[in-house]
Amino acid sequence: MKVVGGSASLPLARALARELAVPFVDASFEKHAGGFPDGERYVRLLDSVAGEHVVLVQTTHPDPMIVEYFLLADAVRDAGATHLTAIVPYFGYGRQDKRFTEGEAVSAKTLAKHIALDADELLTMTIHNPDILAMFPIRAREVSGIPALGRYLKSVGVDLILAPDDNAVRLAKEAAAIAGTPYDYLDKERLDSYTVRVTPKELKVRGKSVAIVDDVISTGGTISTAAKELKAQGATRVLATCVHGLFVGRAEENLKVCDEVVATDTIASAHTKVSVAPEFARALRELMG
Ligand code: R5P
């Protein structure tokens, strides 16, 4: 087995190769220094993968990383790999998981169909809607990224874990079991892509340290609304934690209400503090029997 990493996921791919104790295959992503003037992607594998089972790790965000995934997968196949496991740590377009309005593309399905072209199976992490897995024409599994956050929260010590909405309750419950804390949740209503409203609820957090756990932080609107509620109810410390940290738009400003922001390495950012390499290594070992 050998591990190949796309440029969106190099630290995680290297960490995974170390966890599995298998070689990491370097690749080059620029034909000329500075890349192509029109922004097109380029990939070249710098070591042989002939006859190998290749694990290709590439988050599909931002959009050029999707093209890079296709180039890498095709190059791996052309170079004679006998088996390809795709690891897509953050599956972009997962939130367009149905046709909300007639005529729309079901973007999650579009991505699934094309990612599957060169792959024998897929592992992805903490997805918005697990039903998306059925859209892949190959074996596809969801791996939880929550244990990485749970371990961190156990090490720093928090009094309560909070899900900012219904969708995150399963995540908060899993993190709480690992961190050894109770958990609670808020009811959230999304007004538009940037604005959310939470239903007032007494949380018993006065003087406490609370971690909010979510799958994704995008604009930070969800987390900051929950964090303001916690602070208003007397929480002394609020940690914002997520598996996938997109941090788009005014996210950094919105998140200033939080005392700490923690994300995993499914998307590399200034807030990446924990690695999900052990989670993917375990899932791969299970997959391979
Ligand atoms: C929504 O259901 C997701 O779980 C996240 O809560 C949401 O994507 C976060 O987005 P934002 O940071 O823009 O509020």
Task: Express each pLDDT in 147-193 by its tens digit.
Answer: 999 999 999 999 999 999 988 999 999 999 999 999 999 988 888 87
Distance from Cα 288 to the centre of ligand 1, integer Å? 33
Task: Express each pLDDT in 81-130 by its tens digit.
Answer: 999 999 999 999 999 999 999 999 999 999 999 999 999 999 999 998 89
60 neighbors 267 (Cβ within 8 angstroms): no
Residue with CA nearest ligand 1 atom 5: 216
Q: Establish whether residue 217 lines the binding site of ligand 1, counting it when its CB lies within 6 angstroms of any ligand atom.
A: yes
Q: Quick one: which atom of ligand 1 is closest to the CA of 251? A: 12
Q: Establish whether residue 219 lines the binding site of ligand 1, counting it when its CB lies within 6 angstroms of any ligand atom.
A: yes
Catalytic residues: 188
DSSP assignment string, the chain: -EEEE-TTSHHHHHHHHHHHT-PEEPEE--SSTT--TT-----EE-S--TT-EEEEE----STHHHHHHHHHHHHHHHTT-SEEEEEESS-TTTT--S-SSTT---HHHHHHHHHTTS-SEEEEES-S-GGGGGGSSSEEEEE--HHHHHHHHHHH--SEEEESSGGGHHHHHHHHHHHT--EEE--EEE-SSS-EEE-------TT-EEEEEEEEESSSHHHHHHHHHHHHTT-SEEEEEEEEE---TTHHHHGGGSSEEEEETTS--TTEEE--HHHHHHHHHHHH-
Q: Quick one: which atom of ligand 1 is closest to the CA of 193? A: 13
Q: Establish whether residue 72 lines the binding site of ligand 1, counting it when its CB lies within 6 angstroms of any ligand atom.
A: no
pLDDT of residue 187: 87
Q: Establish whether residue 218 lines the binding site of ligand 1, counting it when its CB lies within 6 angstroms of any ligand atom.
A: yes
Distance from Cα 45 to the centre of ligand 1, integer Å? 36
Q: pTM for the full model?
A: 0.94
